[in-house]
Chains A and B, each alone.
Chain A
Amino acid sequence: MRKLFIIFIALISIQITLTNSFSPDNPTDRRILVLVDELALKSSHSVFFDSLQSRGFAIDFKLADDPTISLQRYGQYLYDGLILFSPTTERFGGSLDLAGVLEFVDSGHDLIVAADATASDLIRNTAAECGVDFDEDPSAMVIDHSSYAISESEGDHTLIASDDFIQSDVILGGTKIEAPVLFRGIGHSLNAANSLVLKVLSASPSAYSANTKSKLSNPPSLLGSAISLVSVVQARNNARIMITGSLSMFSNRLLKAGVQKAGSSDKYGKSGNEQFVTELSKWVFHERGHLKAVNVGHHKVGETDEPAMYRINDDLEYSVEMYEWSGKSWEPYVANDVQVQFFLMSPYVLKTLSTDQKGLYYTSFKVPDVYGVFQFKVEYQKLGYTGLSLSKQIPVRPFRHNEYERFITTAFPYYGASFSTMAGFFIFSILYLYHK
C-alpha cells in the first residue's frame, strides 16, 4: 500500500513536470519571465500580459537589474520563455548576461525583445545576435510622412500605421488583421547572412529612419520597405524569437487606440495591435505552428515488421504520422507537400507522401538498384511551422548468392553447349579406348 502511494506520488510529480514545462508532448510554453525597466510597465501593458495569463502562462515580473534574476538552477531552466521589455538596461542583474540569453535560446527556449528609441547596447547586441540590426543612430526613429496614423496632435509622423503583414496564417493566425498596426519606435534591418530571420511587419516604401529633432543632412541609412518593424526568427532548434523596435506597440494605449491611416478614409475604432501582438505571441510561445512526427515506420510490401535491412529492388512502404499542436491538443496535420527521400549521399527516391487527412502520411516505392547505407529522410520546412527533420538509417544489401535466377533462358545455348561437349567427350573416350 505504501509502495503504491510512493508510486502515485512519483506519477503525480512526473505529471506536474510534464505539464509545467516545455516538453515534446506539450510544446506550449508555461513559465515566462518578463524583465522590465520599471514595474509600472506591468500596468501600462496589462492588456497584453492579461491575455497571456488568461491563456495559461505563469508570468514572473522582475526588474531587469534585479540581482536575483537567474534563468536556470542546477542546470534546469526555470522558465520556458523570456520577454525583454527593458530597452534601457545596460546590464542585467543577477547572473544573466547576453551569453546567458543566447544559451537560453540555444537550448530551445523562446524570446521576445522589444526596444525603443532609448535602446541600450545590450538590447541592440541581443538583437544583432539574432540577425536583426537596429538603426545605428541612437536617436533615430522610423518616420513615415505618408502612412502615419492620423492622430489628434499632428506630430512628427513617428506613429506609423502599418498593414504590410507577412502572408502567413500560421504566424499571424487565421483571421485577417483588418486594422493597421500602430508602431512608434526604431526600425531595423535584417542581416543578409541570416537566413532564418523573417519580416513580419514591414514599413511602407515611404518610411525612413532618422532623428526627428535634427535636420536631415545626408540620406538615412534605412529606407523604405527595407525597414522591418517587427521580425521573427525560428532557430534550427525551433526556438522562436520576436524582435520589435517598439515597446509601446504592446502598451494598453496603442492596443486600445483608434486608428486612421493618413490618406485613407477607413477609420477603425480599435487598432490592429491587440490582435497582432496576441497572435504573434501565440506563435512565439508555440501555441501554434508546432508539428510533431510520430510512428515513423517502414516495411516490405505485404509485411508488417520493420526489417533491419532491405535488399535492392525490394518494394517497401513508408509511413509517418504528423500532428500539429493546437494549443491544447494534437490535431492531425493536413498538407499535400510532405516528401520523403531515400537518401545515400543524394536522394535516389523523392516521393510526395499521400495522406489520409487524419495525420497519416504514407507512400510505397521500390528500393533502387544500389546498395549501401540509405536513410529515409523527411525534411519538412514550411514557413511558420517548426521544422521537421526525420532521418532513419537503413542498409540496403545486394542479392544473396541464392537470390539470383538459377537458370536464365538466354543462356540455354550455353547449357546445351557444355552438356553436349561433356557427352561428346564421354562417347569419344569410350570409342577411342575400346573400339578396335
Chain B
Amino acid sequence: MAASEGATESNLRHAFGNVLSFFILLLIGVLAFSIRLFSVIKYESVIHEFDPYFNYRVTQFLTKNGIYDFWNWFDDRTWYPLGRVIGGTVYPGLTLTAGTLWWILNSLNIPLSVETVCVFTAPTFSAIAAWATYLLTKEVKGTGAGLTAAALLAMVPSYISRSVAGSYDNEAVAIFALIFTFYLYIKTLNTGSLLYATLNAIAYFYMVCSWGGYTFIINLIPMHVLLCIVTGRYSSRLYIAYAPLVVLGTLLASLVPVVGFNAVMTSEHFASFLVFIVIHVVALAYYIKGILSPKMFKVAVTLVLAVGLVVCSAVIAVLIAMVASSPTKGWSGRSLSLLDPTYASKYIPIIASVSEHQPPTWPSYFMDINVLAFLVPAGIIACFLPLSDASSFMVLYIVTSVYFSGVMVRLMLVLAPAACIMSGIALSEAFDVFTRSIKCQLPGVSQNSQIDVGDSTSGSVVTQDEVVKTDKTEDSLKERPSKKNKKKERERERENVEKASIKTPIQKRLLVLPLESSVIALLLLVLLGAFYVVHCVWAAAEAYSAPSIVLTSRSHDGLHVFDDFREAYAWLSHNTEVDDKVASWWDYGYQTTAMANRTVIVDNNTWNNTHIATVGTAMSSPEKAAWEIFQSLDVKYVLVVFGGVVGYPSDDINKFLWMVRIGGGVFPHIKEPDYLRDGQYRIDSQATPTMLNCLMYKLSYYRFVETDGKGFDRVRGTEIGKKHFKLTHFEE
C-alpha cells in the first residue's frame, strides 16, 4: 500500500518535473531569441558585417531562381574576370535553411521579406541550439545539468557575438548542428540504437552543409572512439555509434559540392578512416576472442600481430610517402595553422591578416565566456565522478576546444558550448550537493523517504508559482531590458538551477555539508550566476550588437550615426554603369556586390591569393603602375575606406600593411621594408617616399588637408606627411 502510494507520488513528481522542464526550456528559447534582438532595437533590422551580405545575396538568388540554379550558379559579378562558381564553393546549409524557412512562411501566407528571414535566422537557431544543448547535457549528466547548460548557452557572449539578429553567417546554424550531432552521437552511444546512428549521420551531413568546422566533429569523434578503445571501453554500442557515421557521413559529406572528394582526399578526414580500421580490427579481435578458447586466442594474437605489423608498416610507409609528396602535407592552410599556430603568419599572410584568425588574448576569454572559465574545471571533475562514455566525450570535447580557441579567436565559438555544458554540470552538481545537505539538516525533517517526497511536492508547488513569475520576467525582459529586470532574472536563474537540482534523482550516497556553509555557498553560487547574467546582457547590448555597416560615435552633443558605408554603396549603384568594375580591398567585396550590385575584383571569399595580391600590389604601387594594373582588369572605380576624419580605426590605411604583405608574397618587387621607417609604420612626415607615393596613401589623403587645413589624421593621431598633391591617373 505504502509502496504503491510512493510510486504514484513519484509519477506525479515526474509529471510535474516534465511540465516544468518543458516550460523552462520554452523560456530558455525565448531568452536566447530575445537577448539577440538588441541589434534590431538599437539599430535596425539589417544584415551585419561582411560575410552575411554574401549569404544574404545567395539566399536572394536561391529564393528567386530555385535550388538547381543555385547549385549551378556561376557568378560573373565577383572575382572579375575569373568569376566564381558559387554553387560549388559555398557551404549551402545556412542558405538552404533560410530559403526553406522563407518558403514555408510564404506558403503559409506569411509574407516576410527574405531579408527579415535572414536577419532572424540566427536568433531562432540559437534557441534551437540551447535546446540541443539541453538534450546533449541530459544524455551526459541528467535533466538538471541539461537545463542549467541550456540556460547558460542561451546567453553565452561568445555565441551571442556570432548570432545576434542580422549576423547571418554560417556559424549561426552550425553551432546548433554541432551540438545536435554530438547529442545524437552520445544518444547512440548510450542506447546502441541504429536509428539514432542514422540520424547522427544526417545531422553530420547538415553540419557539413553548414560550416567548414565539420572537420572538428570528424576528428573529435574518432579521438573519442580511440580513447574508449584504448581504455578498454569497447562495446557494440560504440561500434554502432561510430561505423555508420563514418560510412554514411562520408558518403553524405561528399555530396556537398564544396567538400566533394575532399571527404576522402584530405588529411583532415584521415583520422576517421584510421580509427574506422582500428575499430574493425578491435571488433574482430573481440569476436574471435568470443569464439576461441583462451589458449587458441593467444596463438592467434601472436600470429596476427606478426603478420599485421608487417602489413601495417608497409601501408603506413606508403601513406606517409604519399602525404609527404604534397607540399602542404595534404592539409589545408587553415587547418595547418590550427596545428602549428605560427604557420599562417609565416606562410599565408592572407589567413593571418584576418583578425578573427589571430590567437585570442586573456581578456577575450573573460569577455566571451566570463565565469564559465572558472566553472569548467569543476565540471571536468564532475565528469570524472563517475566517468562514463558520454562524460569522457565531454572531457575530450572541452580539452580540444580549449586548445583550438587558444589558436584562433574565431574558434572561441566552439569552446562556448563545451564550456556551457561543463559549467552546467558543475553548477548542477554543486546545487545538488548543497540543497541536499540543507534538506537533510532542516529542523523537523528526518531522513526518511516520506518526508523526502513531501518536501519535493511542496517544492513543486512553489515552482509552479515561480513559473508564472518567470513568465512575467521574460515578458518584461523582452520589452525593455533594464537593470531592474536583472534582479528578477537573477532570481529566475537561481530558481532554474534549484528546480533542476531538485529533480535530479537522488541515488548517490548523501554528502552532508554543514548547514551554514551550504547556505553561504548557495548564495555565492547564485551571486556568480547573477554576475554572469549581468555580463551577458551587457555584452549583448553593448559589445556585440553593432552591425558594423552603421557606425555610431558618442560625443558631447549626443549620439552620432555614420551611415557612410551604405551611402557609398548607394552612390555606386546610382552613379555607375551596371557593368562597371569596382576595385577595393577584399573586405568590401561582398558588400559591394550585395548592396551596390557592381562587379568586384576580389571579395571576402579569399580563394585566389594571386588575384588578391594583384589588388594589393596595385594599392601599394605608384599611381602609374597601379593604373596599368587596374586597366588590365578593366577597373573603372577604386573604393577606399578612410576613417581619418571621424576616427574610424579599421580603415584601409590601417589594413595597408597587409596589402603590402599579401602583394609582396606574390609580386616580389613590393617589399615591406620600403613602407616602414625603422620598422615603424607611419604616415607622417617621417614616412618613406614609397609610402607617400603609393596609391593607397594618395587616394586616402587626397585633398585631406582641405578638411582642417593641417591634415591631422584622427585615427593615427598625427599630421600626414604629404599634404598637397594631385592625382595624375585617377580622378576623385
* Chain A residues close to B by CB (< 8 Å): 309, 344-345, 371-375, 393, 395-398, 400-401
18 A–B contacts, CB within 8 A, in A order: A309-B74, A309-B76, A344-B82, A345-B632, A371-B85, A372-B83, A373-B81, A373-B82, A373-B599, A374-B81, A375-B81, A395-B76, A395-B83, A397-B85, A398-B85, A400-B72, A401-B72, A401-B87
In the bound complex, do residue B74 and residue A393 qualify as a contact, i.e. CB atoms below 8 Å apart? no
The answer to the question of B667 belonging to the interface, with a C-beta cut-off of 8 Å to chain A, is: no
In the bound complex, do residue A371 and residue B74 qualify as a contact, i.e. CB atoms below 8 Å apart? yes
With beta carbons under 8 angstroms apart, the residue of A345, A374, A397 that contacts B74 is A397
Q: Which residues of B contact A393 (CB under 8 A)?
A: 579
> What distance in Å separates the Cβ of B64 from its nearest Cβ neighbour in chain A?
16
Cα A374 to Cα B74 with chains together (Å): 13
In the bound complex, do residue A398 and residue B74 qualify as a contact, i.e. CB atoms below 8 Å apart? yes
Cα A397 to Cα B80 with chains together (Å): 13
Q: Which residues of B contact A398 (CB under 8 A)?
A: 74, 85
Q: When A345-B632, A393-B579, A398-B85 are in contact, do A373 and B72 touch as well, CB less than 8 Å?
A: no
In the bound complex, do residue A401 and residue B71 qualify as a contact, i.e. CB atoms below 8 Å apart? yes
In the bound complex, do residue A372 and residue B72 qualify as a contact, i.e. CB atoms below 8 Å apart? no
With beta carbons under 8 angstroms apart, the residue of A345, A400, A401 that contacts B81 is A345
> What distance in Å separates the Cβ of A6 from its nearest Cβ neighbour in chain B?
33
Cα A371 to Cα B68 with chains together (Å): 19
Q: Which residues of B contact A400 (CB under 8 A)?
A: 72
In the bound complex, do residue A395 and residue B74 qualify as a contact, i.e. CB atoms below 8 Å apart? yes
Q: Which residues of A contact B68 (CB under 8 A)?
A: 401
Cα A53 to Cα B16 with chains together (Å): 108
In the bound complex, do residue B81 and residue A372 qualify as a contact, i.e. CB atoms below 8 Å apart? yes
Q: Which residues of B contact A375 (CB under 8 A)?
A: 81
Q: Which residues of A contact B80 (CB under 8 A)?
A: 373
> What distance in Å separates the Cβ of B652 from its nearest Cβ neighbour in chain A?
25
Q: Which residues of B contact A373 (CB under 8 A)?
A: 76, 80-83, 599
Q: Which residues of A contact B71 (CB under 8 A)?
A: 401
Q: Which residues of B contact A401 (CB under 8 A)?
A: 68, 71-72, 87
Cα A395 to Cα B83 with chains together (Å): 8
- Which B residues between 45 and 77 are near A, CB-CB below 8 angstroms? 68, 71-72, 74, 76
Cα A344 to Cα B611 with chains together (Å): 13
Against A, the Cβ 8 Å flags (1 = close, 0 = not) of B85-127 are 1010000000000000000000000000000000000000000
In the bound complex, do residue B74 and residue A344 qualify as a contact, i.e. CB atoms below 8 Å apart? no
Number of interface residues of B (CB under 8 A): 14
Q: Which residues of A contact B83 (CB under 8 A)?
A: 371-373, 395-397
**Apart from A373-B81, A397-B72, what 9 extra A-B contacts exist at CB < 8 Å?**
A309-B76, A344-B82, A345-B81, A371-B74, A373-B82, A397-B74, A397-B85, A398-B85, A400-B72
Q: Which residues of B contact A397 (CB under 8 A)?
A: 72, 74, 83, 85
Q: Which residues of B contact A372 (CB under 8 A)?
A: 81-83
Which of A373, A374, A401 has the largest count of B CB atoms less than 10 A from its CB? A373
> What distance in Å separates the Cβ of A397 from its nearest Cβ neighbour in chain B?
4
> What distance in Å separates the Cβ of A425 from its nearest Cβ neighbour in chain B?
12
Q: Which residues of A contact B76 (CB under 8 A)?
A: 309, 373, 395
Cα A309 to Cα B71 with chains together (Å): 16
Q: Which residues of A contact B579 (CB under 8 A)?
A: 393
In the bound complex, do residue A344 and residue B72 qualify as a contact, i.e. CB atoms below 8 Å apart? no
Cα A374 to Cα B72 with chains together (Å): 19
Cα A371 to Cα B82 with chains together (Å): 7
> What distance in Å separates the Cβ of A258 from its nearest Cβ neighbour in chain B?
53
Q: Which residues of A contact B632 (CB under 8 A)?
A: 345
Q: Which residues of A contact B85 (CB under 8 A)?
A: 371, 397-398
Q: Which residues of A contact B74 (CB under 8 A)?
A: 309, 371, 395, 397-398
> What distance in Å separates the Cβ of A410 from its nearest Cβ neighbour in chain B?
17
List the A residue with the shortest CB-CB distance to B80.
A373
Q: Which residues of B contact A371 (CB under 8 A)?
A: 74, 83, 85
Cα A375 to Cα B74 with chains together (Å): 16
Cα A371 to Cα B79 with chains together (Å): 12
Cα A374 to Cα B71 with chains together (Å): 22
Against A, the Cβ 8 Å flags (1 = close, 0 = not) of B379-407 are 00000000000000000000000000000
Cα A100 to Cα B171 with chains together (Å): 60
Cα A277 to Cα B632 with chains together (Å): 40
Which of B68, B71, B82, B85 has the largest count of A CB atoms less than 10 A from its CB? B82
Cα A398 to Cα B85 with chains together (Å): 8
List the B residue with the shortest CB-CB distance to A370.
B82
Cα A372 to Cα B80 with chains together (Å): 8
Cα A400 to Cα B599 with chains together (Å): 23
Which of B68, B71, B83, B87 has the largest count of A CB atoms less than 10 A from its CB? B83
Cα A186 to Cα B579 with chains together (Å): 50
> What distance in Å separates the Cβ of B165 from its nearest Cβ neighbour in chain A?
34
Cα A396 to Cα B81 with chains together (Å): 10
Cα A400 to Cα B72 with chains together (Å): 5
- Which B residues between 632 and 656 are near A, CB-CB below 8 angstroms? 632
Cα A396 to Cα B579 with chains together (Å): 16
List the A residue with the shortest CB-CB distance to B82.
A372
> What distance in Å separates the Cβ of A369 from its nearest Cβ neighbour in chain B?
14
> What distance in Å separates the Cβ of A375 from its nearest Cβ neighbour in chain B?
8
Cα A401 to Cα B76 with chains together (Å): 18
> What distance in Å separates the Cβ of B372 from its nearest Cβ neighbour in chain A?
44
Cα A373 to Cα B87 with chains together (Å): 17
Q: Which residues of B contact A344 (CB under 8 A)?
A: 81-82
Q: Which residues of A contact B82 (CB under 8 A)?
A: 344, 372-373
Cα A345 to Cα B82 with chains together (Å): 9
> What distance in Å separates the Cβ of B88 from its nearest Cβ neighbour in chain A?
8
Cα A81 to Cα B453 with chains together (Å): 108
Which of B68, B76, B80 has the largest count of A CB atoms less than 10 A from its CB? B76
Cα A400 to Cα B83 with chains together (Å): 15
> What distance in Å separates the Cβ of A10 from its nearest Cβ neighbour in chain B?
29
Q: Which 7 A-B pairs have the closest CB atoms?
A: A397-B74, A395-B76, A373-B81, A400-B72, A372-B82, A372-B83, A373-B76
Cα A398 to Cα B88 with chains together (Å): 11
Q: Which residues of A contact B72 (CB under 8 A)?
A: 397, 400-401
Q: Which residues of B contact A345 (CB under 8 A)?
A: 81, 632
Cα A398 to Cα B84 with chains together (Å): 10
- Which B residues between 429 and 486 are near A, CB-CB below 8 angstroms? none
- Which B residues between 298 and 316 are near A, CB-CB below 8 angstroms? none
Q: Which residues of B contact A309 (CB under 8 A)?
A: 74, 76
Cα A420 to Cα B72 with chains together (Å): 33
Q: Which residues of B contact A395 (CB under 8 A)?
A: 74, 76, 83
> What distance in Å separates the Cβ of A302 from its nearest Cβ neighbour in chain B?
22
> What distance in Å separates the Cβ of B490 from its nearest Cβ neighbour in chain A?
54
